Amino acid sequence: MARVVEDEGIWSDRDLTEALFGDTDRPGLDEQPSKTNVEDCEASGGLNCTSEGLTKALQSVASLQLWNLMGFSLPVPSLFTRESSSLKSSDVYCEESEVKREDAMEVSSPQETYVAQFESEYINHSVPLYQEFWMSSMKKDLHRVQHTGLSEFVSSIRVSGLKTPPASSPSSVLSPPGLQAKSYTLWHQLPQVKPHLNSLSMHEIQLQEAMFELIVSEASYQKSLIVALNVFQCSAELKGILPRVQHHVLFSNLKDVCRVSERFLQDMESHFRQYVVMSRAGDIVLNHQQRFQKVYVPYITNMMYQEALVAQLTQENKKFALILKKLEGDPQCQRQTLKSFLILPFQRITRMTLLLENILKRAECVCSNVPNLMEAIGAVRKIVEECDRNVEQMKRTELLVCLDKLMDFGNVKSVPLITRGRHLIQEGTFKHLMIGGSQRGSTVSRRDVYIHLFNDLLLLSVKSGNRFVVQDHAPFPDKVSVKELETSLGFPPESFLLDLIKNYNQSSRGLILAASTRLEKETWMKAFSSK
């Protein structure tokens, strides 16, 4: 079997941002913007710049049942809107030397196969695919919601340990959470373990089962990753119909994730062979911390584009849809979809925290020493948090790309919207109240004005269709202030004074604006007052 060449590289957040828009460390507000190369952006009103956390942002692709039950969703980025027939190489964050800018189709080549460098003795027919392991665990957590409440369940996905209910039989106590009915071997059933059982208490055996679950679940994970690589990523049919860049976006650095999993599993099994009664799970996780971080952070960061590309190709590319249906019917997939394979790294890194916390819980019950276990839990949490930050940053950057394409500065001095560190705080429509006077008395005219409030910039625009014709702008918060209006002046209670201390032409300007409701006014006054 031919050995597949490793992925051309691992994408970073900076690589993506620079590939999308060039160097985002752009000049200040007084300099001219440069054009972006993302086209066909949707109206900004359809995008949500507020992060709901990594779990809500990405869990949605795990299963359709959980999508509906938990309400997780991920907006499809405008890089992959229907109007765009294919993903441009300038729209993804990979180094130009690694993924050339080309839309030409690759010529079909003989089927390649991913060859594992380490073959786990636990990757066999009795070990389920990781999708089944993860789904069983999730169903157990969902069932617990009925007794403990939704807030605890949502917390448990992120950081809380598994709470196994009291069991009526030893087998249910010793089985991994959610997998009591599975036939694969448990720690206490292994031949090499039998001589040690009489010298261990039930709680000590439970601790060993918890550590052994880390091994068996990683073997299950490894088994699913290999299927994902051999059936989907190495598919000559998929390579034959997809541009190279799209293929890279679709699978990202999945091979690297698989290699890291393989090394981690090898170290865990080596420790078990050397010490049947294990104690170094924390040490081994810490030894792999940097490898985990190097592969999981870019993979999970890329997932928002990965999911969007799958949706686009499924809807627009009939050949892709037919080939995908054929591949998903492969017996190796066990009726699992491509999406369920692509979500695997996210599921694994988040579930690993729970597995480690379960080990900690068991260790505390017997006052057993598992070195560096707390540090290992903290290390995995930091990786998840970094993924969370990166996903949030990508969503913010995606929104800036869309807004940049929708802004028309006209005669107003333009500013570059796509700047590192900038994000949208709030946007909405107000009534601009303008007072006019004549011999017969004063009159008040009203005109709609649209505000985009960024963390460092305020834009005043008039909406024209899906575009925004910019009327004025000023740095925020230094050159922007708001004031309440005296009710005795006759203005509606929803109105307030917006003062641009120094606008785009270095002059000051005051505007009387009216929100739709008092609550909306209070929300905006709070946003304007934030520093």
- Residue 483: count other Cβ atoms within 10 Å of its Cβ: 12
The stretch 292-312 carries a mean pLDDT of 94
Closest CA to 461 of 410, 400, 405, 396: 410
Closest CA to 229 of 374, 134, 221: 221
pLDDT for the residue 139: 74
CATH topology agreement for domains 114-141+185-407 and 409-529:
no
pLDDT for the residue 439: 56
Closest CA to 415 of 452, 389, 441: 452
**In the predicted structure, residue 261 carries a pLDDT above the cut 90:** yes
Q: Which two tokens stand for residue 483?
A: 């004031």
pLDDT for the residue 140: 67
pLDDT in tens, 428-468: 999 999 887 665 656 778 999 999 999 999 999 999 999 99
CATH architecture of structural domain 114-141+185-407: Up-down Bundle (1.20)
Least confident of 5-19, 205-219, 352-366, 452-466: 5-19
**In the predicted structure, residue 258 carries a pLDDT above the cut 80:** yes
Share of the chain above pLDDT 90, in %: 56
- The two beta strands, 407-408 and 467-475, are parallel
Q: Among positive and negative, which fits the CA dihedral 34, 35, 38, 44?
A: positive
Confidence of residue 172 (pLDDT cuts 50, 70, 90): very low
The stretch 462-490 carries a mean pLDDT of 90
Domain boundaries, the chain: 114-141+185-407, 409-529
Fold of 409-529: PH-domain like (2.30.29)
- The two beta strands, 424-438 and 467-475, are unpaired
Q: Among 25-34, 155-164, 256-265, name the most confident range.
A: 256-265
Confidence of residue 529 (pLDDT cuts 50, 70, 90): confident
pTM over 0.85: no
- The residue type of 285 is V
**In the predicted structure, residue 346 carries a pLDDT above the cut 70:** yes
Higher pLDDT, 396 or 16: 396
Q: Which two tokens stand for residue 456?
A: 């460092």
- The angle at the Cα of 167, spanning 165 to 354, to the nearest 5 degrees, equals 40
